[in-house]
């Protein structure tokens, strides 16, 4: 008998995690809470339990002989869902509440890096508008303004003028655009270079890095428009050298996981390092305490070993095995609702997209139509991601856009240049 796994979450990230688990022989059944109707097309069970209802989730695990739980999104991790599962004797893959602070508070992450000489941008943290405004006026631009807490990937402003920077501060402190996430603000130096995402499976001081990827945060082609939760990604990132990746592992990942153990907050789960390859070497932009989205949708399809086996080994103190396809390239493009991320217009019909062994559709913000005819409609900003595999960047890019350009997308939009930074480098 294979394992039964519960995945917490409802997006494209959880869809690809579920699908990757089901590809291996070690997992027979995956249930997503709450999941979405698009996942069900791939044989993934869903249950309408809220990720914040820990008592009901614990009851569901015990009643359904679930072997272990995988937590996808950041909010339940930061609320302490892993602590609750562990108190109930349930194995859950993800950091506990104390360790999840590395994503829950940018100030906490910055202080940790400062204490352990982990390379990142110079910064100051403020809890009032006046002092933050004075700092910006004295410091000049470009400068980066970040809400301290969780803001769904939208709490960062890269300000090229002082007016932009001051406006961002007012949105956080006066307009309370990010609510409690904006009670403090981190203001940091702007760093030049290509960004890349380096995710690792972590257990205490042990870690297993994944292939790197590059996310596209801005809403529109050419990196125009507001920051989003991510409009697409690709893996590998050929313009980032193997030497830079090795340096990042040695100077960032290793000292970070060791620092957390030293400080009594050992990390278990997925440590996401958002990095930038500067002239002085890789530096940290941000840490997340879970799989990145949309990076996961282009990294996990490259896994060639049994994902469930590896997860089970990590949870039981054994040595996991990860093998990756290093010969091909994956690209994923997000289809988003018009107006995303600021004034989202939901309700657009979700087109049927042909999938095959090289093309996958991972659903995120979708719901069933009111007529009950089995059609899907857009229910939030990011609706789905189309991922394709190719021999290289150009081939994968050609494949993904051949698929997307062949469908009608009224009420939806996508970027047309995911992966082009690699071709232009």
- H-run or E-run covering 77: helix 74-79
For residue 373, what pLDDT is reported? Answer: 67
The listed CATH number (3.90.79.10, 2.40.50.140, 3.90.600.10, 1.20.1050.140) that belongs to domain 329-424: 3.90.600.10
Over range 159-187, report the average pLDDT.
88
For residue 90, what pLDDT is reported? Answer: 98
For residue 372, what pLDDT is reported? Answer: 64
Spatial contact of 22 and 85, defined as CB atoms under 8 Å apart: no
Domains of the chain: which residue ranges?
Answer: 3-98, 122-189, 194-315, 329-424
Strands 224-227 and 218-220: antiparallel
194-203: strand order across its sheet: 206-209, 194-203, 268-278, 281-288
Question: Per-residue pLDDT tens for 265-320?
Answer: 999 999 999 999 999 999 999 999 999 999 999 999 999 999 999 999 999 999 99
For residue 374, what pLDDT is reported? Answer: 75
Over range 122-145, report the average pLDDT.
92
The listed CATH number (3.30.365.10, 3.40.50.20, 2.60.40.1220, 3.40.50.1820) that belongs to domain 3-98: 3.40.50.20
DSSP 180-232: GGGSSEEEEE---SEEEEEEEEEETTEEEEPPPBEE--EEEGGGEEEE-S-SE
Residue of 228, 173, 278 lying closest to 385 (CA atoms):
228
Question: Per-residue pLDDT tens for 357-408?
Answer: 889 999 999 998 766 667 899 999 999 999 999 999 999 999 999 999 999 9
- The CATH number that domain 194-315 falls under is 3.30.470.20
- H-run or E-run covering 276: strand 268-278
Percent of the chain with pLDDT over 90: 87
CA–CA separation, 291 and 148 (whole Å):
20
Residue range 122-189 in CATH 3.30.1490.20: yes
CATH topology match: 3-98 vs 194-315: no
**DSSP summary character for residue 374:** S
* Token pair 């956080």 in the structure block, residue: 172
DSSP 296-335: HHHHGGGB-S-HHHHHHHHHTTPPP---B--S-EEEEEEE
Question: Per-residue pLDDT tens for 192-236?
Answer: 999 999 999 999 999 999 999 999 999 999 999 988 999 999 999
Over range 162-191, report the average pLDDT.
88
Phi–psi pair at 120, nearest 5 degrees: -155, 175
CA–CA separation, 245 and 121 (whole Å):
18
* Token pair 């303004």 in the structure block, residue: 145
For residue 370, what pLDDT is reported? Answer: 65
Select the more confidently predicted residue: 180 or 247.
Answer: 247
Confidence of residue 149 (pLDDT cuts 50, 70, 90): confident
For 204-208, the CB contacts below 8 A with 24+ separation are: 204/257, 204/261, 204/266, 204/267, 204/268, 205/257, 205/258, 205/261, 205/266, 206/257, 207/253, 207/254, 207/257, 207/271, 208/320, 208/322
C-beta neighbour count of 392 within 10 angstroms: 15
């Amino acid at each position: 008998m294979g394992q039964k796994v519960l995945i917490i979450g409802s997006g494209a990230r959880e869809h690809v995690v579920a699908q990757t688990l089901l590809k291996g022989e070690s997992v027979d059944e995956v249930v997503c809470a709450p999941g979405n109707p698009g996942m069900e097309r791939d044989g993934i069970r869903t249950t309408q339990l809220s990720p914040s209802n820990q008592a009901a989730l614990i009851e569901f695990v015990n009643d359904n002989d679930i072997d272990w739980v995988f937590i996808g999104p950041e909010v339940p991790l930061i609320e302490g869902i892993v602590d609750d599962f562990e108190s109930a004797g349930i194995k859950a893959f993800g950091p506990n509440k104390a360790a999840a602070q590395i994503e829950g508070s940018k100030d906490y992450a910055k202080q940790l890096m400062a204490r352990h000489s982990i390379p990142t941008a110079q910064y100051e943290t403020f809890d009032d508008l006046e002092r933050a405004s004075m700092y910006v006026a004295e410091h000049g631009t470009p400068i980066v303004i970040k809400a301290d807490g969780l803001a769904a990937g939208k709490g960062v402003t890269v300000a090229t003028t002082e007016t932009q920077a001051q406006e961002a501060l007012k949105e956080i402190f006066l307009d309370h655009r990010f609510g409690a996430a904006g009670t403090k603000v981190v203001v940091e130096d702007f760093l030049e270079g290509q960004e890349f995402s380096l995710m690792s499976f972590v257990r205490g001081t042990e870690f297993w890095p994944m292939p790197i990827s590059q996310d596209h945060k801005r809403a529109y082609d050419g990196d125009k428009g507001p920051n989003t939760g991510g409009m697409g990604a690709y893996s590998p990132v050929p313009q980032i050298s193997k030497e830079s990746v090795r340096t990042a592992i040695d100077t960032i990942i290793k000292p970070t996981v060791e620092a957390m153990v030293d400080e009594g907050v050992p990390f278990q789960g997925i440590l996401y390092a958002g990095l930038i390859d500067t002239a002085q070497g890789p530096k940290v932009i941000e840490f997340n305490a879970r799989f990145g989205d949309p990076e996961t949708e282009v990294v996990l399809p490259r896994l060639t070993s049994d994902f469930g086996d590896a997860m089970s080994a990590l949870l039981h103190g054994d040595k996991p095995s990860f093998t990756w396809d290093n010969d091909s390239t994956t690209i994923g493009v997000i289809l988003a609702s018009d107006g995303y991320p600021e004034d989202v217009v939901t309700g657009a019909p979700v087109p049927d997209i042909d999938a095959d062994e090289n093309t996958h559709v991972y659903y995120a913000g979708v719901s069933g139509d009111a007529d009950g005819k089995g059609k899907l409609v857009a229910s939030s900003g990011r609706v789905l991601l189309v991922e394709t595999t190719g021999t290289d960047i150009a081939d994968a890019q050609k494949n993904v856009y051949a698929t997307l350009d062949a469908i009608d997308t009224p009420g939806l939009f996508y970027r047309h240049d995911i992966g082009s930074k690699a071709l232009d480098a």
